[in-house]
């Protein structure tokens, strides 16, 4: 079972829906056979468009916000890569999963979740230092909505350990 391909495909189809819900034209969705780097680039473009539309940044705010956003996304990508690697490890061992394998997958899962929350808190605080409070709150709300949407669509695809 290629859970990773399904997860990426779902993430790709989720972002155009998010953009469309925000009043923008949906991006083209692509199949799982398409190069993952192209797909991920499209997701990031769509996500960036959602922030741009909803934050209504001034020129000065844009100059300080976008470098923080880009730094956050680069760090978040490393966590996403860890998540996908852990998911792939679980998928490869699914039929023969031992107690030790399960412990390792669980330990990495919890570490990723802890690191993701710490990263969100760190960068939300950075955003709050450079944007007005209402825009910083809006940023945090959008980030949470995007995360919930993507994770809410990906996690049901992952079979429970048996």
Residue 109: predicted pLDDT: 97
Name, of 14-18, 27-31, 82-86, 120-124, the range with top average pLDDT. Answer: 120-124
- Helix 36-55 and helix 133-154: axis angle, to 10°? 150
Whether the model pTM is above 0.85: no
pLDDT (tens digit per residue) in 37-78:
566 667 777 889 999 999 999 999 999 999 999 999 999 999
Which helix (H) or strand (E) element contains residue 69? helix 59-93
Which residue in this structure is represented by tokens 């209402």?
134
Determine the Cα–Cα distance for residues 125 and 148; give it in Å rounded to an integer: 20
Sign (positive or negative) of CA dihedral 136, 25, 83, 149: positive
Higher pLDDT, 152 or 140: 140
């Amino acid at each position: 079972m290629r859970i990773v391909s399904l997860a990426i495909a779902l993430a790709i189809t989720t972002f155009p829906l998010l953009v469309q819900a925000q009043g923008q034209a949906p991006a083209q969705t692509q199949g799982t056979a398409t190069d993952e780097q192209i797909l991920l680039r499209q997701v990031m473009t769509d996500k960036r468009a959602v922030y741009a539309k909803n934050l209504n940044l001034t020129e000065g705010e844009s100059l300080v916000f976008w470098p923080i956003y880009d730094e956050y996304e680069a760090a978040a990508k490393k966590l996403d890569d860890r998540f996908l690697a852990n998911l792939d490890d679980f998928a490869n061992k699914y039929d023969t999963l031992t107690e030790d394998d399960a412990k390792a997958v669980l330990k990495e899962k919890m570490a990723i979740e802890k690191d993701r929350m710490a990263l969100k808190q760190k960068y939300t605080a950075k955003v709050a230092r450079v944007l007005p409070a209402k825009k910083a709150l809006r940023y945090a709300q959008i980030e949470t909505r995007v995360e919930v949407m993507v994770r809410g669509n990906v996690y049901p695809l992952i079979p429970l350990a048996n």
